[in-house]
């Protein structure tokens, strides 16, 4: 190791030590303040749970049907469990959230953040809510990024973040590694810079990388930096044990299945489209969709469906090509069979107006014919599966799921058993017999991905950014609202 590299390595170690000392000093100073009230008692007295959160696509953001996100939904549910309202303290970074908690301005940092050794010395973390793998990311066609020992340009990560901690650990493995931090930089912004060729390399969590690659398909993962890391919420140690114990009890009551269901809602459908697929969709959004957009919008409005969901189904079926004909004889932009056309009174399934309107009515019908016990958003995923392989097969898959001891109302459970409809020992015991179950699983995942991409593409058409919802909890969209904007009981 030359003197320059040694100096840099020692300086990074010193910075890490100074950060630990700063966190611990703040925690000790606050813990000695006798006027600090027990967090749970404070929440019960005011009737408000104050949670620090970050506005990003993995935690809290504005979706098609209002404010949503993995941590947002979970924090809302925890507030319901406590019998109080949720008040969001919006911050820019996880580090800012920890500061808000340590200062007493928030009772917890409701952000699924990596549990680093440095943070664990100053904070008290919940049980892991999910896991994230650090990934080194470059732009496709950048050969320099392949050899980490011979980098000419440094890897850039947000300053004071877990990303810097990950690179410090990698530097121990590769002493010649070049990297640097950027103050006030956000991981998503750095990924965009890499995709646009403005930056060579960055490090981000696998969940954010997967989401961002749908919109910037030229991003490529060079390598994973170790094993998946646990993500959890943080509380201040000096707030007392009561809130921590209530959160722990709530998470135990919620159980692995409900957490899995929530994770599936936000991350289970992140399909890794390749570069060609993603660019093709973006191109067709500009060249093909304009011919049919008004028809999608009108049909969706008449049937209480988000038009982008209807368009996503159309894209999965035909790539918005009205001349498409499948090997099995289905035709047109929505690939409607002759039998379905007769059921929907469609005289010409190659007429885009008739086909799109008929598909919207069919989706609405399927949504309404599902058992009432299936709630959103699972109800919409079941609806999409039924559109693909038929309602009877979906109901069979629910029966099979229940026989195997899982919940037939949860898409994440039924999705695991749908592939069994191809096995004689299972489908011969069911009413509707054989079905291409694996195809339905992929179908739903693809439509959900296309829907997300269309939401992102259409949001770019709006010049003004949408502000974070400042309203108190009781004035925000109700928790559990259909994310696909089906607003009423159907049929």
**Could you give the residue numbers annotated as active site?**
317
Whether 166 and 12 have beta carbons less than 8 Å apart is answered as no
In what order do the strands lie in the sheet containing 134-139? 179-182, 155-158, 201-205, 134-139, 219-224
What tokens appear for 424 in the block?
């004689």
Whether 27 and 236 have beta carbons less than 8 Å apart is answered as yes
SS3 371: coil
Peptide bond before residue 377 is cis, with ω within 30 degrees of 0: yes
361: Cβ–Cβ under 8 A, 6 or more apart, which residues?
303, 344
Beta carbons within 10 angstroms of residue 224's beta carbon = 12
Alpha-carbon separation of residue 485 from 70, 269, 341, 351, 444 (angstroms)? 18, 18, 26, 26, 17
- Nearest Cα residue to 42 out of 112, 93, 124, 107: 107
Alpha helices in 144-186 (DSSP H): 162-173
Q: Rounded to whole angstroms, how far apart are CA atoms 104 and 42? A: 11
What tokens appear for 128 in the block?
């892991």
- Backbone region of residue 336 per phi and psi (left: phi > 0; alpha: psi in -120 to 50; beta: other values): beta
- Backbone region of residue 347 per phi and psi (left: phi > 0; alpha: psi in -120 to 50; beta: other values): alpha
Q: Rounded to whole angstroms, how far apart are CA atoms 309 and 315? A: 10
Q: Rounded to whole angstroms, how far apart are CA atoms 406 and 400? A: 9
- Nearest Cα residue to 88 out of 71, 66, 65: 71
Whether 307 and 301 have beta carbons less than 8 Å apart is answered as yes
Q: Rounded to whole angstroms, how far apart are CA atoms 375 and 423? A: 29
Query: Dmax over Cα atoms in the chain, in whole Å?
Result: 80
Whether 106 and 78 have beta carbons less than 8 Å apart is answered as no
Strand pairing report for 66-68 and 61-63: antiparallel
């Amino acid at each position: 190791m030359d003197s320059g590299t040694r100096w840099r390595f020692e300086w990074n170690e010193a910075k890490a030590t100074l950060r630990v000392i700063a966190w611990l000093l703040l925690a000790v100073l606050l813990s000695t303040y006798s006027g600090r009230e027990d967090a749970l008692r404070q929440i019960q007295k005011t009737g408000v749970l104050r949670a620090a959160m970050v506005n990003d696509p993995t935690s809290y953001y504005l979706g098609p049907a209002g404010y949503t996100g993995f941590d947002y939904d979970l924090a809302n549910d925890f507030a319901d469990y406590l019998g109080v309202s949720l008040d969001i303290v919006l911050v820019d970074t996880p580090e800012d959230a920890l500061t808000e908690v340590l200062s007493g301005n928030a009772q917890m940092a409701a952000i699924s953040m990596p549990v680093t050794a440095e943070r664990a010395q100053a904070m008290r973390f919940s049980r892991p809510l999910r896991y994230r793998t650090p990934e080194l990311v470059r732009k496709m066609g950048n050969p320099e990024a392949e050899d980490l020992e011979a980098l000419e340009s440094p890897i850039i990560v947000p300053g004071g973040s877990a990303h810097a901690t990950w690179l410090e650990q990698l530097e121990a493995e590769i002493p010649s590694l070049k990297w640097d931090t950027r103050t006030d930089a956000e991981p998503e912004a750095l990924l965009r810079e890499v995709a646009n060729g403005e930056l060579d390399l960055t490090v981000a969590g696998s969940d954010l990388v997967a989401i961002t690659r749908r919109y910037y398909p030229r991003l490529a993962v060079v390598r994973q930096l170790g094993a998946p890391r646990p993500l959890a919420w943080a509380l201040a140690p000096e707030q007392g044990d009561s809130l921590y114990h209530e959160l722990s009890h709530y998470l135990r009551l919620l159980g692995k299945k409900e957490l899995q269901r929530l994770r599936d809602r936000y991350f289970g459908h992140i399909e890794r489209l390749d570069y060609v697929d993603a660019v093709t969709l973006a191109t067709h959004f500009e060249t093909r969709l304009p011919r049919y957009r008004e028809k999608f919008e009108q049909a969706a409005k008449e049937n209480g469906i988000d038009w982008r969901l209807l368009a996503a189904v159309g894209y999965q079926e035909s790539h918005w090509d009205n001349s498409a004909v499948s090997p099995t004889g289905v035709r047109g932009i929505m690939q409607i069979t002759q039998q379905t056309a007769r059921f929907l009174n469609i005289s010409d399934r190659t007429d885009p107006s008739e086909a799109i309107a008929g598909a919207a009515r069919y989706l609405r019908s399927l949504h309404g014919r599902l058992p009432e016990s299936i709630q959103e958003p699972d109800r919409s995923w079941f609806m999409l599966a039924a559109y693909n392989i038929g309602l009877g097969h979906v109901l069979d898959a629910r029966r099979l799921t229940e026989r195997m001891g899982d919940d037939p109302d949860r898409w994440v459970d039924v999705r695991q058993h749908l592939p069994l409809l191809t096995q004689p020992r299972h489908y011969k015991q069911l009413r509707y017999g054989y079905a291409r179950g694996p195809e339905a699983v992929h179908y739903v995942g693809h439509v959900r991905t296309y829907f997300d991409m269309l939401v992102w593409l259409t949001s770019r058409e709006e010049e003004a950014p949408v502000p974070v919802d400042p309203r108190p909890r009781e004035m925000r969209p109700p928790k559990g609202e259909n994310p696909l904007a089906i607003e009423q009981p159907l049929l």
